[in-house]
Homo-oligomer: A and B are copies of this chain.
Amino acid sequence: MTTEADLQSLSLSSPSVEEPKKSKKAVKKEAAKAEKLLKRQQFSSASPSSVEVTAVDDADDLFGSNYGDVPILELQSKTVTGRKWTVVESMDAEMKDHSVLVRGRAQTIRAVGKNIAFVVLRERGFTIQCILTAKPDFVSKQMVKFAAGISRESIVDIEGVVSVPEKPITGASQQVEIQVRKIYCISRAIPNLPINIEDASRSEVDLEKADKMGEKLVRVGQDTRLNYRVLDVRTPANQGIFRIQCQVENIFRQFMLSEGFVGIHTPKLIAGSSEGGSAVFKLDYKGQSACLAQSPQLHKQISICGDFGRVFEVGPVFRAEDSFTHRHLCEFVGLDAEMEIKEHYSEVMDIVGRLFVTLFDSLNQNCKKELDAVNMQYPFEPLKYLRNTLRLSFEEGVQMLKETGVEVDPFGDLNTETERKLGQIVKEKYNTEFYILHRYPLSVRPFYTMPCADNPAYSNSFDVFIRGEEIISGAQRVHIPELLITRAESCGIDVKTISSYVDSFRYGAPPHGGFGVGLERVVMLFCALNNIRKTSLYPRDPLRLAP
């Protein structure tokens, strides 16, 4: 389990690490050693005959130079040929009879007798069927045999001609085939993979069907997937999920920029003492006690007091909580925003409403392929949302719950179950699975939340829900030092410990508010996935710190 740290401790490709110098002798010794290794590796295959990668030179085979394992030397940036590469995703019937050069993974390899082999080549989740047929003019039996012997998930280069089959292809995403002329193996995968990509890609529907029929299909468990994430993320659904996630962030950023927000970066290492609470990760910082930021709350507020007007940040946030739920992580990506308020916290809710309608619209329009890929494995209904985001007050929410027989404390918080219940009621009544609940009781919000003007038992705060689960908390903040102190005291906080925070508001502070969103939750709930570990590339929970 020390791999990454030890690796990290070596100089990585980064600007500020400078390596110790080595003696000339050591340099020469190393060079000789590397050269020796290279020669050995080359020797194991035949030497290349041209700029083009070649590997086998069987005297019995006229086409010996058209297939083989590529020697290491050829993969060390030896030459620039300028050859054109075709992307699997782009291949369709319009390319009929074109010669193509493709690099991808051998997803499945199947030989039919000694004369035919099929290789399904996969590139970034898209697949194409490649066919080797032994023919006197192009392809030898030895070449078919070589192809048939390639291990699954190996990286291969294939040159060939595009053909269009008469029947639709079911075993690959692209509806054309490649008649193979050359095939080279760039990197061989070990024969026994810990995860079979076919198993990892299987639809939940097929698994359930098989269960009902009493058939046994391999179901790859969540932990196994995460242990071998390097294989797991190769499935079309995972390729889709993380491309969607990238788009969510991108749309967020572009929307915020268009609204005059400035993107900032606040420190993740912050001063802290051992009294810092149980939910923070603590560490030693050059002799000072420090902790990892649980949110950019303080620094984004300082930035507002520092005249940036409107700021946003995308960055990691750290929670040392022992939560083992489907929706908590110890490290996740926060999308945070803070803005001056002219009059009312509804200005913040306006931003949230428009942001998410823009986001949902854009995902539905621009991520069709990715959403389809997710849907194929994990079927879900598209999210229902209104053009003008529904806003309900907390009091209204409590009343709606009461009307359906669910009693909740009108000055308490909603729990996960009542949130979900309210989500159902709202969906039935308003036909939306995305809405804002605002004016929460003051007592269930952090001390820096602004109380309501008309009733200080409530606060100028809101939560936002997708499919009955909370994804955003937001509020107007207290910008008045005296009120902040009163509120802190009411919440039992030692005011001395927050004096520098309070002081930030003594140099003139505009009224302001903001919100925080969890990136992984947005993706999880938009796609109705059942676990946040599915939308975190390398998730961290109380038990998982690798890979």
Is the Cβ of B250 less than 8 Å from the Cβ of A473?
no
A410 to B275, CA, bound (A): 54
* Nearest-CB residue, chain B, relative to A261: B246
CB-defined contacts of A4 to chain B, threshold 8 Å: 270-272, 293, 298, 500-501
A508 to B13, CA, bound (A): 23
Q: A265 within 8 Å of B by Cβ?
A: yes
Minimum Cβ distance to chain B for residue A479 (Å): 6
1/0 per position for A17-38, CB-CB distance to B under 8 A? 1110110101110110111011
Name the segment of A170-178, A181-189, A371-379, A384-392 touching the other chain.
Answer: A181-189
- From B37, B286, B315, B413, give the contact of A483 (CB < 8 A): B37
User: Which residues of A267-300 have CB atoms within 8 Å of chain B's CB atoms?
Assistant: 267-273, 275-286, 288-295, 297-299
Name the segment of A60-68, A422-430, A484-492 touching the other chain.
Answer: A484-492
Q: A359 within 8 Å of B by Cβ?
A: no
Q: A330 within 8 Å of B by Cβ?
A: yes
Is the Cβ of B508 less than 8 Å from the Cβ of A105?
yes
Contacts known (A297-B8, A545-B269); A3 close to B253, Cβ less than 8 A: no
Contacts known (A309-B124, A319-B16, A546-B271); A190 close to B242, Cβ less than 8 A: no
A38 to B342, CA, bound (A): 20
A185 to B271, CA, bound (A): 34
- From B2, B316, B451, B457, give the contact of A276 (CB < 8 A): B2
A278 to B284, CA, bound (A): 13
Is the Cβ of A452 less than 8 Å from the Cβ of B500?
no
Q: A519 within 8 Å of B by Cβ?
A: yes
Q: A345 within 8 Å of B by Cβ?
A: yes
- From B83, B246, B443, B474, give the contact of A264 (CB < 8 A): B246
Name the segment of A136-144, A210-218, A534-542 touching the other chain.
Answer: A534-542
Contacts known (A233-B307, A471-B15); A3 close to B271, Cβ less than 8 A: yes
Give 12 new A-B contacts, CB below 8 A, not counting A6-B275, A27-B443, A34-B490: A5-B280, A7-B498, A22-B412, A28-B457, A33-B490, A34-B456, A35-B456, A77-B344, A77-B460, A233-B308, A250-B257, A269-B331
Minimum Cβ distance to chain B for residue A220 (Å): 15
Q: A59 within 8 Å of B by Cβ?
A: no
A280 to B284, CA, bound (A): 11
Q: A1 within 8 Å of B by Cβ?
A: yes
Q: A47 within 8 Å of B by Cβ?
A: no
User: Which residues of A493-539 have CB atoms within 8 Å of chain B's CB atoms?
Assistant: 493-494, 497-501, 504-511, 514-519, 521, 537-539
CB-defined contacts of A229 to chain B, threshold 8 Å: 302, 306
CB-defined contacts of A323 to chain B, threshold 8 Å: 16
A457 to B243, CA, bound (A): 39
Is the Cβ of B497 less than 8 Å from the Cβ of A3?
yes
Is the Cβ of B508 less than 8 Å from the Cβ of A155?
yes
1/0 per position for A460-490, CB-CB distance to B under 8 A? 1000000000111111100110110011001
Minimum Cβ distance to chain B for residue A372 (Å): 17
CB-defined contacts of A12 to chain B, threshold 8 Å: 294-295, 297, 446, 516
A4 to B294, CA, bound (A): 10
Can you list 29 A-B pairs, Cβ within 8 angstroms, ordered by A?
Answer: A1-B273, A2-B273, A2-B275, A3-B499, A3-B500, A4-B270, A4-B271, A5-B290, A8-B280, A13-B475, A14-B294, A15-B470, A15-B473, A31-B455, A75-B511, A76-B452, A77-B341, A78-B453, A80-B346, A193-B507, A230-B504, A246-B257, A246-B263, A269-B331, A270-B546, A271-B545, A286-B320, A316-B316, A500-B547
Is the Cβ of B291 less than 8 Å from the Cβ of A5?
yes
- From B7, B15, B41, give the contact of A482 (CB < 8 A): B41
Minimum Cβ distance to chain B for residue A30 (Å): 5
A318 to B81, CA, bound (A): 39
Minimum Cβ distance to chain B for residue A90 (Å): 12
Is the Cβ of A487 less than 8 Å from the Cβ of B276?
no
- The 10 A-B pairs at the shortest CB distance, nearest first, are namely A5-B272, A9-B277, A31-B457, A34-B456, A5-B276, A189-B508, A233-B306, A283-B283, A76-B453, A2-B273
Contacts known (A27-B411, A306-B229, A344-B80); A540 close to B480, Cβ less than 8 A: no
CB-defined contacts of A190 to chain B, threshold 8 Å: 506-507
CB-defined contacts of A493 to chain B, threshold 8 Å: 6, 10
Q: Among the interface residues A6, A290, A412, which one has the most CB atoms of the partner chain B within 10 A?
A: A6
Q: A180 within 8 Å of B by Cβ?
A: no
Is the Cβ of A72 less than 8 Å from the Cβ of B253?
no
Contacts known (A271-B545, A297-B13); A453 close to B73, Cβ less than 8 A: yes
Q: A11 within 8 Å of B by Cβ?
A: yes
- From B34, B331, B456, give the contact of A486 (CB < 8 A): B34
A11 to B266, CA, bound (A): 18
